[in-house]
Structure formats: C-alpha cells, structure tokens
Amino acid sequence: MPSRDDKVRYYILCPSGVRVDVADPQQCQTVTCWSCGRVTAVSQAILRSTDASTTLFIAPQPEAGSMNRRAAAFVSQGKYVEAIDLYRRILEEDPYHRDALYGLGYCYYKLGQLRRSQAFLQDAYELGHPGVERLLNKVKSLLSSS
C-alpha cells in the first residue's frame, strides 16, 4: 500500500526509448521528449493504448520518492544492504531512476564491491546525475590500481 506521500505518476515512452514524465495527463495536451525533441499529442487513445505497435503509451507508475528517502536514511545509518534492497525495488519500477542508480553505486562502493559500484555509477552518469562524476572517477582509480 503506498504511503501518503506516494502518488501515481504517468509517463509516455517515446519511440527513441526515453521515458517522458507527464504530470497530469488529463490537463496535458502535448508532451515533448527531452532527448529527441519529438512532440506528441496526449489523447484518450494514447492514454488507453497498450498496443506495442503504437509507439507511445501511458501507464501509471508509483512514486519512488518515499522509497528513495527511506533508502537514503538506511545509507546515512550505514545499513547498505537494506538500502540496496530498496534501490533495487525502485529500479524494478523505473530502470532510469538516476538517484537509485547512484545510491546502488555508492552502497556497493562502501561495501567494497567496486566493479558493481562502477557499473551503477556509470549508468547514473550517463543519465546525467549531477553528483556522480567524482565518485565514479574514484572507483575507476581504485580499480585500475588493484
């Protein structure tokens, strides 16, 4: 059961493979993909469509924010294994959640699992996470010196 601060989120999957969040599909007329620039009209047909041949679809997605906050609390307490479990659950629902990717990279770094850390940090970096570059470089340096 979602907590009070969870809310349903919607998104459109662009043909380029990028997920574009939609705040309120009932009040939104068009959506522009931040990656390819494609502008798509949001219509009832798209909202209901789940046909794979229709390149766009909208689906409800639970808010990952509260899970991310709980995972961050575990990290601040040094409970990295518990945080990893939450971050993985976030990624099951949203594989492009850059904070969860960074969190996994950080937890694996703290646990000494540098190869796993590097993989998740690299994904977070490619998605534009603002604080990942420094830790990613540190992990790469540690791996190259071992």
Domain extent listing, the chain: 8-62, 65-145
Nearest to 42 by CA among 27, 64, 54, 61: 27
Average pLDDT over residues 61-82: 83
Q: CB under 8 Å to 112, separation ≥6 — which residues? A: none
Are 74 and 82 within 8 A, CB to CB? yes
Q: Kindly report, residue by residue over 43-59, the tens digit of the pLDDT.
A: 554 443 334 433 344 44
**Whole-angstrom Cα distance, residue 50 to residue 57?**
6
Other beta carbons less than 10 A from residue 69's beta carbon: 12
pTM above 0.75, yes or no: no
Average pLDDT over residues 85-108: 91
CATH number for the region 65-145 comes to 1.25.40.10
* Residues paired with 60 in a beta bridge: 10
Model confidence at 5, in pLDDT bands (50, 70, 90)? very low
Model confidence at 131, in pLDDT bands (50, 70, 90)? confident
Is residue 25 predicted with pLDDT exceeding 50?
Answer: yes
Q: Where are the beta strands (DSSP E) in 56-111?
A: 58-62
Q: Mean pLDDT of all residues in the chain?
A: 76
- Check residue 141 and give its pLDDT: 96
Other beta carbons less than 10 A from residue 117's beta carbon: 25
Q: How many CA atoms lie within 13 A of 114 on its CB side?
A: 12
Longest Cα–Cα distance in the chain? 56
